Amino acid sequence: MQINLATKTVLVTGASRGIGAAIARAMAASGARVAVHYARKRAEAEALAAELGGGAEPFGADLADPAACTRLWKEVTDRFGRVDVLVNNAGVAIGSPVDSETWLADWERTMAVNLTAAGLLCRSAVAHFQAHGGGRIVNIASRAAFRGDTPDYLAYAASKGGMVALTRSIARGFGKAGVTAFVVAPGFTRTEMAQDFIDQYGEDYAVNDIALARLTEPEDVAPTVVFLASGLADHATGTTIDINAASYVR
C-alpha cells in the first residue's frame, strides 16, 4: 500500500522537533505540503521546511496565547489557500509538585498549550473543513490520558484526557459534514521534552516500563499519523491508537 498526499496541505503544530518533526517529514515524504509550526525554535523550523521542500513553510506562534492560535490558522490558510489535515502535536510537560507555589501557573500554562490551543485550532479547522468539503484532524495525546501520570504531572495527564474527549466529540458531531478526527496516544518517546526524565532516572528506567527492547522513537509514531491523514481510515473516526510499546494495554 502506498499513501499519496500530493494534493494535501497539512498543518503540524510543534513541528520543529521531536514527534512533530518526524510527522512533518513523514507527511512530506508522502507528498504533502507542510506548514511547519514552531513556538521558539525558528531556525530549526526554517531548516526543516527547507529540508522538506514541496512548498513547506515555517509559521511561528506561541500557542499559550489564544489570539496567536487563531492568527496561526489564518496565516496558514491565507498563505496556502486551504488546509486538509490538522495535526495538533504541540505540547508541554511541566513537572509541578502539588505543594509548589507555581502549581496553578504551571497548570494554566499546560492547559493553555495542550488543550485550549488544540480546541481553538480544531474549532477553526472544523469551520474551514465544512466550507471546503471536509478534512481530518489528528490529535496527539498520551497514554497518560488513560492510565494517568505521576503526581508532578497531574496537569499534563488532565490536558491529554481533555484532548481525547475533544476529539471524540468532534468525530461524533461533525462526521456528516466530512470532518473526521482521531487520537494517537504515544507512550514514553525519546524526545527533547523527555530528556529531563531520562537524565534524572536513566534510560533503563524508561525501557523497563515497556514491552519492547528499545525506547520508542518519534519515527515510530509518525507513520500512523500519515495513515490517519490519508483518508484510508475514515471509518475509524473517533478512535484512539495507542503507540506505547504495551506499557499501557487497554
Catalytic residue among 38, 153, 156, 248: 156
Instruction: Pull the grid cell for residue 172.
Output: 461524533
- Report whether 204 contacts 148 (CB < 8 A): no
Nearest to 121 by CA among 19, 14, 233: 14
Looking up cell 496567536 gives: 68
Side-chain-facing half-sphere of 89: CA atoms under 13 Å: 30
Is residue 153 among the annotated active site residues?
Answer: no
CA-to-CA distance for 133 and 142, rounded, in angstroms? 30
CA-to-CA distance for 37 and 21, rounded, in angstroms? 10
CA-to-CA distance for 12 and 115, rounded, in angstroms? 15
Beta-sheet strand order (sheet of 33-38): 57-60, 33-38, 9-12, 85-88, 135-140, 179-186, 240-243
Which residues are part of the catalytic machinery? 156
